[in-house]
Chain A
C-alpha cells in the first residue's frame, strides 16, 4: 500500500499541470460565463460600424434608426475593417458615399454600401430598404427631408408586443460557471487519473516487477487489494478536491438538488475515468507514450463529446459517434442540470443516462481484467 502511494506521489508533478489548466479555465469562465437573460424580450444587438462621408440629415437619421436596437460605432480603423469583420468585432459595416442624400433625392441607385460576412444579418438589409421606403412615402406625403426623417423616427416607435415563453439561459453558450465546472470534469478527470494511475499500473503490472513481488511473502490477493485501495484513495482524493473546490467557488450556481445530482453524475464518471486510466496504464508502455495517449484520449473525448464545444455546434456524425463514448452521456446529464425545467421533466432520463455511464465503467473494468489476465498468462 505504501509502495502504491509512493509511485502515485512521483506522478503528482505531471498531474498538477492538468490541475493548473483546470483552475485557469475555471478562472477564465468566472469572468466570461453568460449572464441570465431577462424575463422580457431583448433584441439581439448587432455591432454596426458606420463610415459616414455624407453626414447629411438622411444618413444621420438612418444611423439613429439602426442605433435604436444596435450598437453603432463611427470611429474605427478603416484599414482594419476586413480583420474586424473576420474576427466578429463587427457584424455589419455601412459606407455612406459623399452626395448620398442628393442622389437619393434624385432617385439614383446606390450611394450607400454595406459589408458583412455573416449571412444571417440579411434582415438588416431589409430594415434599411424599408427605412428608405418610409422616407420616400413621407416625402410623397409632401414633407421636406427633415420632417420626413423626423416622421419616420416617430413612426418607428410603433412596435409589436413581445412575450417570452421560456427563460432559457441563452443556450449552452450562456451557461453559468458551475456548468463549466461540471463539464470540464469530463476532460480533467481522465487526464489527471491517467497521469497518476497510469504509471502506478505500469509499475505494478510490469512483468519483472510482478514476478519479483510474486516471489515475496505478500499473497497475490493482498497485492491486488493494496493496488485497488491505492487506486481508490488516489481517485477519491482527486475527485473530492475538485468537488470541494467547485463547491467553494461556485456554490451560488447550484441548488442542493443539482449539486447532489451533479455529484452522482461525476462520481459515476469517476469510475469510468479510473477504468480508462488503469487500462491505459497496463496497455501503454513508457511514461512518454502514456503522456501522448493521455492527450489523445482525454482531449479526443472532450472535443467529440461536447465539453470544449457544445454538442449543438458539432456535426451530426460526430454526435452519433460520441454516443459510443461515456463522456457524451455524462455531458447530457450536466446539460440537463443547468437548463431550466429540464431536470424536473426528465428525472427518469437523468438516471437512465447515469445507468449508461455505470455500464460503460463496468465494461471498461471487464476489459481491464481480461488484459491483466492475458498478460499474466503470457
Chain B
C-alpha cells in the first residue's frame, strides 16, 4: 500500500505527463466548446426568415398573400417576418442582407434572393405552394366547384405525424467530446510507458535501483499499474466533471455504467503503454514516438479530427470500428449516453476487455523474451 501511494505521488510529480494527460485534454475541450457550441444551432436550428414583399407597379398588393406568410408557424415560432415595402427599398434591404428574399408580386411572381441556401429554398418553396394553390382555386372557380375545393383546403386532418428521435442528445458535435475522452484515456499509455521504463534496468537508473530492492517483482508491477490506473481514472472523472459542470456539454444520459466504463478505459490506456514499453524495449524515445503516433492515428479514426469519421468507416470499413481502441471508447460512450443501447455498449466493453487481455499476454511474452535475451547476453559476457 505504501509502495502504491509513493508510486501515485511519483507519477503525479511528472509535470510533462500531468500536462499531456490532464491539462491538454481540458484545454482542448475548452477550445472545442468555443468552436463547436454554436455550429449545430446555426446550421440545424430554426430561425424566423426575414422577407420583404413588394409589388410590380400597377399591381394591387395581395393582402391574402401577406396573411398567408404571416400565418405560417413552426412550433409556435413564425416562419417569416414580413416587411411590406416598395421595390427600391426592398432591393436595398436585400443588398444589405437585412432580408433573405424579396417577393415581387405581379403578373409573374418573382423571388429575389441574395444567395442560394436553405432559407432561400424555404422562401421559394412557400411561394411555389401559394402559386400552385391559387391555380387550383382558379381551376375550381372555372369548373364551378369552388365550395368543394375551399372545404377540402379547410380540412384540418393531420396526416403527417412526428416520430421523435430516440437519442438523448441531438448535437452531433458531441462526438468530438467523446473522441477527446478517448484520446485522454489512451494518453494513460504515457503512465504505462513510464512504469515500464522504470522497471527496465536497461533504460533508467531508477529501474536499476528499484530492481535491486528486496521486493518481489509482481507486487511492484501490480502497484505500478494500480497507481497509473488511479491517476488515469481521476483524470477521467475530472474531464467528465469539467464537461458537465463547467462547459455544460450536452453529453446525453450519464449513469453509473459510464463510471464503470471509465475504469476500464483507464486500464486500457495504461496497458497500451505497457505493451509499447515491453515490446519496444531498446530505446525509450522510439517507444514514445511510435506510441504517440499510433494513439493519434487511432484518435483520428475515432473522430477527433473529423467528427463523423466513425460513421464514414461504418459504411466503408466497419472492421476498423470493431477493433480501433479510440473508436471502441468513443462508440461505447455514444451507445450508452446518446442512443441508450445497452447491447451495443456491452459489445464495445467486451471488445475493450479482449483488447486488455491481448495486451497483457503480448506484454508478458515480450517481457519474458527480452529478459531471457538479457540473461543470455549476460552469460556470454
Contact = CB atoms under 8 A, between A and B. Distances in A.
A41 interface: yes
Contact of A166 (B24, B114, B139): B114
Contact of A315 (B19, B32, B37, B128): B37
B16 A288 contact: yes
A71 to B, nearest CB: 13
A158 B34 contact: no
A98 interface: no
Contacts of A171: 115, 117
B108 interface: yes
Contact of B172 (A87, A136, A141, A308): A87
Given A86-B167, A160-B109, A137 B126 contact: no
A119 B111 contact: no
Interface stretch (A110-118, A202-210, A257-265, A326-334): A110-118
A162 B124 contact: yes
Contacts of B44: 117-120
Interface string B274-290: 00000000000000000
A125 B161 CA distance: 9
A123 B121 CA distance: 9
A160 B110 contact: yes
B162 A155 contact: no
B149 A140 contact: yes
Contacts of B37: 315
B377 interface: no
A309 B35 CA distance: 6
A102 to B, nearest CB: 13
A312 to B, nearest CB: 7
Contacts of B32: 303
B163 A95 contact: yes
B79 interface: yes
B94 interface: yes
Given A156-B132, A158-B131, A162-B113, A85 B165 contact: yes
A133 to B, nearest CB: 5
A132 interface: yes
Given A83-B311, A160-B131, A292 B19 contact: yes
B162 A113 contact: yes
Contacts of B148: 140-141
How many chain A residues sit at the interface, stated as a range, is 35 or more
Contacts, number: 242
Contacts of B28: 299
A11 to B, nearest CB: 16
A295 B16 CA distance: 13
Interface in A296-349: 296, 299-300, 303-304, 308-309, 312-315, 318
B311 A163 contact: no
Given A44-B116, A113-B162, A314-B38, A82 B131 contact: no
B252 to A, nearest CB: 11
Interface string A144-169: 00000000000110111111111110
A233 interface: no
Contacts of A159: 124, 128, 131
A109 interface: yes
A112 B19 CA distance: 54
A292 B152 contact: no
Nearest to A296: B27
Given A104-B159, A120-B45, A89 B311 contact: yes
B116 A37 contact: yes
Contact of A88 (B158, B165, B308): B308
Interface string A164-206: 1111101100000000000000000000000000000000000
A122 B158 contact: no
Contacts of A122: 46, 74-75, 79
B27 to A, nearest CB: 6
Contact of A140 (B20, B31, B120, B145): B145
B48 to A, nearest CB: 11
Nearest to B128: A159
In this complex, the interface size class of chain B, counting residues with CB under 8 Å from chain A, is 35 or more
B273 to A, nearest CB: 17
A64 interface: no
Interface string B11-38: 0000110011001100110011011111
B111 A87 contact: no
B152 A133 contact: yes
A117 B38 contact: no
B143 interface: yes
Contacts of A377: none
A130 B133 contact: yes
A38 B116 CA distance: 9
B166 to A, nearest CB: 6
Nearest to B339: A82
Contacts of B121: 43-44, 69, 123
B128 A160 contact: yes
B86 interface: no
Contacts of B31: 299-300, 303-304
Given A139-B152, A163-B112, 12 more contacts: A37-B116, A41-B111, A104-B159, A117-B44, A120-B44, A134-B136, A162-B113, A164-B114, A165-B112, A165-B113, A292-B24, A300-B31
Interface of A: 37-38, 41-44, 69, 80, 82-83, 85-89, 93, 95, 104, 107-120, 122-123, 125-130, 132-134, 136-142, 155-156, 158-168, 170-171, 288-289, 292, 295-296, 299-300, 303-304, 308-309, 312-315, 318
Interchain residue pairs A-B with the least CB separation, the first 5: A119-B46, A140-B148, A136-B152, A303-B31, A122-B74
Interface of B: 15-16, 19-20, 23-24, 27-28, 31-32, 34-39, 42-47, 72, 74-75, 79, 91, 94-95, 108-118, 120-122, 124-129, 131-133, 135-136, 139-140, 143, 145, 148-149, 151-153, 155, 157-167, 170, 172, 308, 311, 314, 338-339
23 contacts: A41-B111, A44-B118, A82-B339, A86-B170, A109-B158, A110-B159, A115-B162, A120-B122, A122-B74, A126-B126, A134-B132, A136-B155, A137-B152, A141-B149, A155-B136, A159-B128, A165-B95, A165-B115, A166-B114, A170-B115, A170-B116, A288-B16, A315-B38
